[in-house]
Structure 1
């Protein structure tokens, strides 16, 4: 492991192995990056079935910037009550180790450079001896019912909002003069249709991805992408197409820190069983993004 990776990983492991977590033994047969899974091609595959993607829970993930730690947020409805759980997988010399935590709710989100870690509308910055005290994004964010947030290398934040009618808009906030500026709504190229949510911005800000419902879609919510144009504006939304989107609900797109793979969720009904669809985690080669990129 490179020295800079070790420097990044040690504070993270310190957070994991606290009194609120329980480390289990190394999982057998999981060696190499991405929990030792066979890498996907241009057709999406379920990620780590039975390990990360489980039949009893909906799962969402986020890799630490060095890809050595995977955070998993889980949810389900049990007897009419919503339940949440958190699991962490960390890479060790022998493979991957599972850490079950008592934390509930959202997993922490790390900025692309690993210098900030976000917890909803709050965050910490990396210091010489660990992490700062918890900070707030700023008063301009206080009244926005934010669901999720991502950040570019330049510090631009993108995020969604929770509304009961599903008509919330996607926003962005630029970093300037040591603080985030007042959030602005994306243009109609992005904020069109219904249920625009879970945005992801490329580290270099060359594109934004999200999920939403549009009349010309494949069914329920689909994944869309908008590329940055030469004049700095965002291009028209492009549906990721039939390799990714189906009649089922797709959502939560994000690309791995190395830019190689796209992860997303899809609502899938259990095979041969009646009942509600459950969210499974899929991944696919991120080359599908390059295949959609316009030539200017």
Structure 2
């Protein structure tokens, strides 16, 4: 067996082991293809589950793009940069419930020829974000990106949009009424645009709340944060809509979804109870370990479970049913 063939066999065995291990506590999505040693977040699957949009970036998240992959049988195709991405700091794709629009955030300028959008917080300047969308064309593909005008785009710090069937846009942002951290907001459709965003009341403002994933019918809201009981720096929580229209107390999702690593960027899949999460969980290294050679060390350090964020899929249907949501 040549060294090249040996490396291939080792890689194949490793990915099979990862997929088997992941099945006991969620599924590592597309090990080695979707989830890699880079950073993958913000899964946006189509309604038929055959196409997946997501963000891929370096560890610093300074260089990223929105990717797309097709599922053929049980396997995912090699991801490609989406037709509307690849030139700017594009991230956090989400599809509208009917699939007609794909929303994302970007530092691209509102008008051609202007400099990229920048933001500032605590004296530091960094690439900002505005909310954009592309529309599905009748003959396939996507339109050119359109900027979402209005007050929801004020401040150049808008993240992780999520859209209901009625057109409400939920997102996280740092705004004047956010307190010390980021909070979740909702902007309701108004005329041809959107009303000024309103902060979603989920508790005191000492805790940061980001990355909303709203049920298309508005019955529950999933987000990333730390309500004081997180296992890691950020965990995934769920809040249910009450009879009076307010949101109930956020509940920490169980340990299958959350770990001692960072979990964030939740999104909902097309099947009932299907939840995608970005997680930095990793393989533990025990010493003394079997002695590495250059090939085995490089393979392990570049594997999905090297501490980078990957996409995981979970089933929270039991949680939903326990709160009266059957489908």
Q: In which range does the TM-score fall when normalised by the shorter chain?
A: 0.7 to 0.9
CA contact (8 A) 2:180 2:206 kept: no
- Give the 3-state SS of the residue equivalent to 1:194 in structure 2: coil
Deviation for aligned residue 1:209: 0.6
CA–CA separation in structure 1 for the residues paired with 2:242 and 2:195: 22
Deviation for aligned residue 1:96: 4.5
CA–CA separation in structure 1 for the residues paired with 2:159 and 2:173: 5
Query: TM-score, length-normalised on structure 1?
Result: 0.73
Determine the structure 1 residue equivalent to 2:56. 74
Deviations 1:114-153 (A, max 9, x none): 1222232122344656665543322212323102201011
The 5 A counterparts of 1:203-218 are 203-218=216-231
CA contact (8 A) 2:28 2:310 kept: yes
Query: RMSD of the alignment, in Å?
Result: 3.3
CA–CA separation in structure 1 for the residues paired with 2:181 and 2:323: 27
- The answer to whether structure 1 residue 194 and structure 2 residue 207 are counterparts is yes
- The answer to whether structure 1 residue 183 and structure 2 residue 183 are counterparts is no
In structure 2, the CA distance between the partners of 1:86 and 1:171, relative to structure 1 (3 Å rule), is closer
- Tell which deviates more after alignment, 175-184 or 87-96: 87-96
Determine the structure 1 residue equivalent to 2:172. 160
Question: Where does structure 2 lack aligned partners over 5 or more consecutive residues?
Answer: 1-18, 106-130, 288-300
In structure 2, the CA distance between the partners of 1:84 and 1:271, relative to structure 1 (3 Å rule), is farther
Deviation for aligned residue 1:162: 5.3
Question: Of residues 97, 111, 123 in structure 1, which corresponds to 2:96?
Answer: 111
Determine the structure 2 residue equivalent to 1:124. 134
Question: Where does structure 1 lack aligned partners over 5 or more consecutive residues?
Answer: 1-36
Query: TM-score, length-normalised on structure 2?
Result: 0.67
- Give the 3-state SS of the residue equivalent to 2:58 in structure 1: strand
- Give the 3-state SS of the residue equivalent to 1:290 in structure 2: helix
In structure 2, the CA distance between the partners of 1:249 and 1:67, relative to structure 1 (3 Å rule), is same
Question: Of residues 309, 312, 315 in structure 2, which corresponds to 1:279?
Answer: 309
Task: Kindly name which structure, 1 or 2, has the bigger radius of gyration based on alpha carbons.
Answer: 2
CA–CA separation in structure 1 for the residues paired with 2:257 and 2:73: 34
Deviation for aligned residue 1:267: 1.6
- Give the 3-state SS of the residue equivalent to 1:209 in structure 2: strand
Deviation for aligned residue 1:294: 6.2
CA–CA separation in structure 1 for the residues paired with 2:93 and 2:312: 20
CA–CA separation in structure 2 for the residues paired with 1:81 and 1:112: 28
Deviations 1:17-69 (A, max 9, x none): xxxxxxxxxxxxxxxxxxxx89x878323222222111x21212211233221
Determine the structure 2 residue equivalent to 1:258. 271
CA–CA separation in structure 1 for the residues paired with 2:39 and 2:310: 6
- Give the 3-state SS of the residue equivalent to 2:201 in structure 1: coil
Deviation for aligned residue 1:290: 1.4
- The answer to whether structure 1 residue 149 and structure 2 residue 161 are counterparts is yes
CA contact (8 A) 2:172 2:209 kept: yes
